[in-house]
Chains A and B, each alone.
Chain A
Amino acid sequence: MEPPPPCSAAGRAAALAAACINYRRGGPSRGLELRAVTAAATQDIDNVGRKYHLKLVLEDILEKDNVVNCTAEILYHLGNKNAAPDVDFTIEGELKNTDEQDNIFYNQIKSLKKELVAQNIPDSHGNVPPEMEPIRLLARVAAGYVAWQNSTENTRYELAQIKDVRQVKRSDDYLEFDYMVLLHEFVSQEIIPWQMRVLWHPQHGVKVTQNSRQPKPAEY
């Protein structure tokens, strides 16, 4: 019988679950963050991989008193280390409806004379101008997808900063942004530049159409 994973792996699995849930349920007006892990169990499945059973509490970044309980199952695959882990989850109860804020943001961007361009969100002091908050939350949703696709039992990714974001002109109803972000990987402590192309529509949600890890800039 193999020794069980270190307990720290449960924390990383929980962070991954939260990232996935944020990817699926988050948006420019909703960010979900892991508040607590109330239970965790692991299960080795022969020839398949290792499964984590988790009970989590998530909170709404914009309104910290809004919390939801979730259960999640994460399966890290044994064979193909490049395969993204399987993540299934259920959220107990309802998340706050964000249609109104979504539409406000949508109309704000649609009515810009020039495509949106911005850098360093948050800035060095952690400040985010209020009109950029939806841009940041959107990046967080997309980063959740990137984290999910690239995570193993031994990694944990967080969005550290948006270095650059540019709106991409479109002829249809969708909003599209090209992000260059910095991800922070907890175990190696590395800061990893990552490019993401993100589509969003108030009724159709978020889609990451393309993403790629970028080389670290040369030392200076």
Chain B
Amino acid sequence: MPRVGSSHRQVPEGYNYTQYHPMEEIYQWMTEVEESNSELVTQHYLGETSENQTMYYLQISQPSNKSKKIIWMDCGIHAREWISPAFCQWFVKEILQNYKSDPQISRFLQNLDLYILPVLNVDGYIYSWEKERLWRKNRSPYMNATCYGTDLNRNFNSSWGSIGVSYNCSSEIFCGSGPESEPETRAVAQFIERKKEDILCYLTMHSYGQYILTPYGSTTEPPSNNEELVGDENFGLLKIIAKFTGTNENAVPILNLQMQVAEKAATALMGKYGTSYQVGATSLILYSNSGSSRDWAHMIGIPFSYTFELRDKGTHGFLLPSDQIEPTCEETMLAVMTIIDYVDQKYFPSGGVILTSGSLGLSLCLSVVFTWTVF
């Protein structure tokens, strides 16, 4: 049942945020959200998919003379990760239901516009509803239409095609015929490139695994805010880790500011239901990969760039029961709000909160490295 707040007209009545919705219903929902919140929300055309479906994003923007910065969030880049679009819809609903009453939201809406793309891979999402529930990629044809689909999260122009990909269309991690070969990738990349001066934070929502991932998946480029809040003793640590993981010491992002904000977000998330998320660079805690949207966003200069891998850890995996939509979305809201709030305070300070670099808790990855040296 949808939650009815004091301003129940602000979100489409009768829309059930605790169920999964097919694409037709999400399109309709976007239209209704814009209609019932026209002072705040506008729906925009982003581009077309390979099967000529339209990609729309929602812009949540408080009218003002001030020039604002941007938070971007996309969901559903991988078709089978249904909890992801469910979260984007939940997020929009939460903002619209609470922006007048919640001081945290009303503060950051003075400075930040929110751009939400509820379903990036529209064709794939539709395919996962109609034909194959565990489909991942988009639906563009290759090899004379004998093989379908590029992994859109290997198709961005960030060390494209170098590691953690396949050049074979039949693979789930096929990176496409070239960087940005897919219309969905181009639609997102062109838009973000145009707006990159104003985008402070790029969030991309996936499942499953319970991770908050920071750049990089491949180790060829260092993240630019690596040196912030890294003291001398931590720099020594960086060098040791770099030596043992065989990476460029400037490319080890473990101790950087992005990580610390992500740790704060994971802590906030855990506070709700005890769900534990691991935080770190993809190449260290998951696997190496290239061409991800998160890495590309960071490379072109967006300072805070994160991949969320939502619930669970494998018991249900992609088939997360709909009765877990609400708790997953509630806890994830806390994490996302932590990040947005930090970005807001950092770039629009009111003379208050600064993230202090506390003592470094050894993550699992570090303790593995250091224990290895003992043998």
User: Could you tell me which A residues sit within 8 Å of B by CB distance?
Assistant: 3-4, 6-8, 10-11, 15, 31, 33-37, 39-44, 61, 122-128, 140, 158-161, 182, 184, 186-191, 219-220
Flag if B321 contacts A122 (CB, 8 Å): yes
Do A42 and B313 touch (CB < 8 A)? no
Interface hits, B272-328 → A, CB 8 Å: 276, 278, 283-288, 313-322, 324
Q: Is B356 an interface residue (CB 8 A)?
A: no
Nearest CB in chain B to that of A122: its residue: B319
Shortest B87–chain A CB gap in Å is 15
* Docked-complex contact B287 and A39, CB < 8 angstroms: no
> Contacting chain A: which of B98-106, B191-199, B230-238, B367-375?
B367-375
- A132 to B284: give the CA distance in the assembly, Å: 38
A-B contact pairs, 8 of them (CB 8 A): A8-B283, A8-B287, A41-B375, A42-B368, A42-B375, A127-B322, A182-B134, A184-B318
Q: Indicate if B68 sits at the interface (CB-CB under 8 A).
A: no
Chain B residues proximal to chain A, CB less than 8 Å: 19-20, 129, 131, 133-134, 136, 146-148, 151, 166, 170-173, 209, 244-246, 276, 278, 283-288, 313-322, 324, 364-365, 367-369, 371-372, 374-375
Contact A8 B285 (CB under 8 A): yes
With A and B bound together, what is the CA distance between A6 and B314 in angstroms? 21
Interface core residue of A3, A126, A128, A158 (most chain B CB under 10 Å): A126
Instruction: Select from chain B the residue with minimum beta-carbon distance to A220.
Output: B131
A35 and B209 CA atoms in complex are apart in Å by: 11
For A6, the chain B residues whose CB sits under 8 A away are 245, 283-284, 288
Complex CA distance for A53 and B129, rounded to whole angstroms = 42
- Give, as a whole number of angstroms, the nearest-CB distance from B8 to chain A: 26
Contact check, B286 vs A8: say whether CB atoms are below 8 A apart: yes
Contacts of B286 in A (CB 8 A): 8, 11
Known contacts A3-B244, A126-B321, A189-B173; decide if A31 and B134 are in contact (CB<8 Å).
Answer: no
Distance of B9 from chain A, by nearest CB (Å):
29
Whether the pair B147, A7 counts as a contact (CB closer than 8 A) is no
A50 to B210, alpha carbons, bound, how many Å? 27
| A196 to B51 Cα, complex, angstroms | 38
CB proximity of B276 to chain A, nearest CB, Å: 6
Complex contact B367–A39 (CB within 8 A): yes
